[in-house]
Amino acid sequence: MSQETNPQPTNQKLPGEIHGQEREVEKPAEKKTESDKVPFGSRLTQRLFSINTAVILGAIAVALVLGALIVVIFNEDVQTAAGYLFAQPSDFFQAAGSTFQSFFSSLFRGSIYNYQADSFAVGIKPLLETLTRSVPLIIAGLAIAVSFRAGLFNIGVQGQLIMGAFVGTVVGMHLHLPIVLHLIVAIVCAVLGGALWGAIPGFLKAKVGANEVIVTLMLNSIALLFLSWTLSQEFMKGDGSAGKSMYVADTATYPSLLGSNYRLDLSFIIAILAAVFVWWLLERSTFGFELRAAGANPHAARTAGISVPRVIFLTLVISGGLAGLAGTAPVLGTEKFLTSATAGSYGFDAITVALLGKSTPLGTVLAGILFGALAAGGSTMQAAAGIPVDIVQVTQAIIVLLIAASEAVQYYRNKRKVAARASAGAKKEAAK
């Protein structure tokens, strides 16, 4: 009787995989031996999965408060009132309180609901703008999450997003197809463009063991330089100016979901479907089981008959394809043209999104919406309250630092517990 070597999809937890709150408990001696076998990248991603949800929510709340305090400290009215604080402290506290309140009120009005609007249709625009801005962050975050679950650091999502946006734009400009077919072809080609760009580090990692971080970072630079060069070519700019492509055809653009008065389009539904696909891939498919197994412990995965190089290659291809899909959100949706700034910092912001989302589809969607809200609210804060939009980036950085700090504290706390147990065991042995 032959025995199957290919593992079947299952919901059971993998040994060494941190998924939810359950984790296999190992003896200290066995744990040390096993950790020596597991690559550093896999062990680090496992630590990222173990982040408590309460820690994340607390980090977000503290970051928002600290961001507001930074705005208060550098506010001109507050600084002026601070000059005569002891003479008339009420002016200082009034100015500080007003600035603090303005930070949160303008953020709310710019990202959730504008309660100062004349109608509900106008007041709901901030929420729809939040969802619009979250689309590329969600999809790019899913690309990062897939690679993280496999123990890989796909830092090249930025370059893969650029190549996907480029291919999608070219197809949208120069192909003449029926209205529905044209959009589908443009999306598929963008996904293929990102997937091919992700296949390069996947192949190098799987075949020759190249470091995926270095390779993907170099490919980011190549993609950006390639984009800058193509935007100066006649087939891209047409009669337009250098640095900006022609507009894509109307037949290749995402249709609006709620009418021309709102920017929210079909790409948001695509982002949700992408999250569902990633959930199915990771939790219900055979390849997802192999991917999680390789990420948890590649040596054990090889012993179980899993081809780790194949998993590495396909993971980076899938991750690149998702990044290419993220690139369609601006070029086929909100902007409908391509510039060197179209990709922005989506690829790098996606790392934080995946981190906050604990590399899970649902968490990534929620984290992407949060970052979309910060981006949408930042514009309102600058226009209405005179608060620099850069405070959004500062808030995001504080969130990451707080999470990293909490993990460092937990790491050293656990290390001290293990050392204490070992010391107690040694004392017992000596007493015998």
Q: What Rg, from alpha-carbon coordinates, does the chain have? A: 25
Burial of 106-135, coded b for 16+ CB within 10 Å and e otherwise, reads: bbbbbbbebeeeeeeeebbbbbbbbbbbbb
Query: pLDDT below 50 — which residues of the chain?
Result: 1-13, 15-36, 47-48
Q: What's the confidence (pLDDT) of residue 24?
A: 42
Please tell me whether residue 132 adopts helix, strand or coil conformation: helix
Please tell me whether residue 239 adopts helix, strand or coil conformation: coil
Question: CA–CA distance from 421 to each of 34, 187, 369, 428 (Å)?
Answer: 19, 56, 43, 11
Residue 294, CB-side half-sphere exposure with 13 Å CA sphere: 28
Q: How many CB atoms lie within 10 A of CB 211?
A: 13
Burial of 253-284, coded b for 16+ CB within 10 Å and e otherwise, reads: bbeebeeeebbbbbbbebbeebbeebeebbbe
C-alpha–C-alpha distance, residues 398 and 228, integer Å: 32
C-alpha–C-alpha distance, residues 254 and 430, integer Å: 73
CB 407 within 8 A of CB 18: no
Q: What's the confidence (pLDDT) of residue 1?
A: 43
C-alpha–C-alpha distance, residues 236 and 221, integer Å: 20
Burial of 52 (0-12, 13-18, 19+ CB in 10 A): middle
CB 45 within 8 A of CB 359: yes
Q: What's the confidence (pLDDT) of residue 249?
A: 92
CB 96 within 8 A of CB 78: yes
Please tell me whether residue 388 adopts helix, strand or coil conformation: coil
Please tell me whether residue 104 adopts helix, strand or coil conformation: helix
Query: Which structure tokens are listed for 261?
Result: 């008065």
Query: Which structure tokens are listed for 405?
Result: 């700090």
C-alpha–C-alpha distance, residues 54 and 251, integer Å: 45
Q: What φ, ψ does residue 52 adopt, rounded to 5°? A: -70, 140
C-alpha–C-alpha distance, residues 107 and 118, integer Å: 19
Q: Where are the domains of the chain?
A: 135-359
Q: What's the confidence (pLDDT) of residue 25?
A: 41
Residues 6+ apart with CB under 8 A from 390: none
Of 203, 283, 267, give the one whose Cα is nearest residue 20: 283
DSSP H or E segment with residue 96: helix 89-111
Of 327, 325, 147, 352, give the one whose Cα is nearest residue 224: 327
C-alpha–C-alpha distance, residues 296 and 7, integer Å: 15
Query: Which structure tokens are listed for 166?
Result: 């480029």
**Region for 210 from its dihedrals, namely left if φ exceeds 0, alpha if ψ lies in -120 to 50, beta otherwise:** beta
Q: What's the confidence (pLDDT) of residue 220?
A: 94
Q: What φ, ψ does residue 22 adopt, rounded to 5°? A: -85, 140
pLDDT in tens, 383-408: 766 778 788 888 888 888 887 787 77
Query: Which structure tokens are listed for 142?
Result: 């899913």
Burial of 60 (0-12, 13-18, 19+ CB in 10 A): buried
Query: Which structure tokens are listed for 199?
Result: 């296949």
DSSP H or E segment with residue 251: none
Residues 6+ apart with CB under 8 A from 262: 125, 128, 256
Q: How many CB atoms lie within 10 A of CB 37?
A: 12
Q: What's the confidence (pLDDT) of residue 364?
A: 93
pTM: 0.82
